[in-house]
Structure 1
Amino acid sequence: MPASRDEAVQEQALTADVTLARINQGVQLHHGQGRREAARDVFTQIWDEIGGERGDPLHVCVLAHSMADVQDDVEQELIWDQRALAAAGLLTDARLAQVGVPMPVAALYPSLHLSLAECHRKLGDLDRAREYLQRAQAGIGALGDDQYGQLIKGGLDRLTQQLTSR
């Protein structure tokens, strides 16, 4: 259930885009029901349908970022997060607004960079992890003071502590 009116509007807009709605169903399988493999199957089917990396950059970005979360192998997770980052570079604020996402493309980067930093930390490449962490921190000004922004900032704080304690 959405926590605010803005989130309700965003959820409604995302469900108006069939592909984003299906991606959201996969996210719910994973996060809401703990059905990681089922979510991965849904994401794989959508990936094939949208034409992979040649698809709509919004779909590619959201799907790849979600697919990264359901990987069992960290190297595969990294590949999916890199795909998401590449697709974000092709997005425009107008495209986000078209589906009702009430934030600029710049607000996506802290999450994407955080995910990449976490992958590199898991792989033991702490220098790359710190590099992506710095990129994420540099972009936090684009985040709102909402649930999403707080989630990402909390993740950045946790990762900062993990990397400074090593």
Structure 2
Amino acid sequence: MNKKRNRTVSRKKIQNAVVELLKNSNLENLKVTEICQKAQINRSTFYDNYTDIYDIADKLRKYLVDEYALTQNNFKKPCFSKLLQHVKDNQDLYRLFFKLNLQNGVAEKFIDNHEEKDHYDEVFFRNGIVAIITEWLKNNCSEPINNIVKVIDAHQNCLKNKKTI
């Protein structure tokens, strides 16, 4: 039991160190030594838990995707304000989410699959949401959520009301 607890504590220290180091660095530039120093662990502890930096990155990616999916599944109906509140409450998590290029599915839940749409409209809308959230994160989510929702809703309404020529 104690061994399992120690392993969990070590993994958490390593994960926290990686998240902290990735704020100012890219994954390719991280070194195991740097992670161990930040986490205050031995190299052997790192290698007892992960095979290399890419192994921990893959596990962090999976955690972030699972965490995002869980929050989305908790919404009965897609709601931008709930998504944005979650982003605001978990800014470091979402910064890492975007830094690791995991944003592909962020807007999927907000696209109405019952309507016939142009593929490029969907791409435009998806990327627009990602760009807005990314910019909002750069500004530490200082803009009120309802202002961001208004921007997204306005663009979504434009796409819904688009007349074909």
* Same fold by TM-score greater than 0.5: no
When the two structures are superposed, what TM-score results if normalisation uses the length of structure 1? 0.28
When the two structures are superposed, what TM-score results if normalisation uses the length of structure 2? 0.29
